Amino acid sequence: MSASETTEKINGRVLSVAGSDSGGGAGIQADIKAITMNGGYAMTAVTAITVQNTQGVYGVIPVPLDAIAGQIRVTLSDIGADVIKTGMLGDRKTIETVSRQLNELAPDIPRVIDPVMVATSGDRLLAGDAVDVLKSLLVPDAALLTPNAPEAEILSGRAVESVDGQRRAAERLMETGAKAVLVKGGHISSDVITDVLQTEYDEFFFEAPRIDTESTHGTGCTLASSIATYMALGSSLPDAVEAGREYLLKALESAKPLGKGHGPVNHGWPLGKER
């Protein structure tokens, strides 16, 4: 049996196209941890290097466009992928490069698009002039779009201050071509967090009590990567969302304080060891 025939039978391969977080709590680092802890195989295409810790983002160094394209090309041509997950893309040219590579090399591989716009610290991670490019190139045909409430407002043009607002934003984003949308409710003031998933055929509501913790850095990256992993392992989308949320909730519940700001979630909780 050839190597190519062998890799075609391996499920759980996730290619993450995202920025690097020197603090280790979000971005590529969070993606690798989440994918691995949930039983997948992580590959990466780094789009930017951030100078970052729990207190903020102190610098962003873009990766050359040909290097981004090259990372995508060599991983897909050799190992392949069952799902591709995108995170921080940073600017218009990077989005255009990533979209072109995925359309050419992986048109049929499901994509989980996490529209990373702002870090937990409040620092902006997506240029203002890149929003329309993201909407036109990556939102259409996304297997799953995973915006938080502020991101859903920007992308949909609808106010997202309640579950009803989440539903309306998801509907609008579905109209733009996304096959499914998960509008997360963590930024909406409530003792119970509700995430709303809309698909082409149904609507799902996932609820959980708000966890009192400052260790929230990387929650969006972690959830999107976890969901992508379960999709890559063959789960249905609702089941993948439920499993990904369970992983994240336990990572929040078991997190110990690290750093002087918003610390990272505990990605390694399935190992059963204290961090």
- Split the chain (275 residues) into runs of 10 and give each run's mean pLDDT: 45 96 96 98 97 92 97 97 96 95 97 83 67 92 94 92 96 95 94 96 96 94 98 98 98 95 95 74
- Please indicate whether residue 165 is annotated as part of the active site: no
What residues form DSSP beta bridges with 242? none
- Please indicate whether residue 221 is annotated as part of the active site: yes
Contact 31, 225 (CB under 8 A): yes
Contact 61, 27 (CB under 8 A): no
Predicted local confidence at residue 255, as pLDDT: 95
What are the boundaries of each domain within the chain?
Answer: 10-147+211-268
- Please indicate whether residue 219 is annotated as part of the active site: yes
Secondary-structure class of domain 10-147+211-268 per CATH? alpha beta
Which is catalytic among the residues 7, 176, 194, 216?
A: 216
Which is catalytic among the residues 184, 199, 222, 263?
A: 184
Predicted local confidence at residue 275, as pLDDT: 59
- Please indicate whether residue 12 is annotated as part of the active site: no
Q: Structure pTM?
A: 0.94
Please give the torsion angle defined by the CA atoms of residues 88, 46, 10 and 5, in that order, rounded to the nearest 10 degrees: 130
Which is catalytic among the residues 219, 222, 229, 263?
A: 219
- Please indicate whether residue 250 is annotated as part of the active site: no
Which is catalytic among the residues 23, 185, 218, 244?
A: 218
Environment class of 211 (CB within 10 Å of its CB; exposed 0-12, middle 13-18, buried 19+) = middle
- Please indicate whether residue 213 is annotated as part of the active site: no
Contact 82, 12 (CB under 8 A): yes
Q: Which residues contact 264 (CB under 8 A, 6 or more apart)?
A: 23, 24, 25, 26, 30, 54, 215, 217, 218, 255, 258
Predicted local confidence at residue 109, as pLDDT: 97
Predicted local confidence at residue 2, as pLDDT: 36
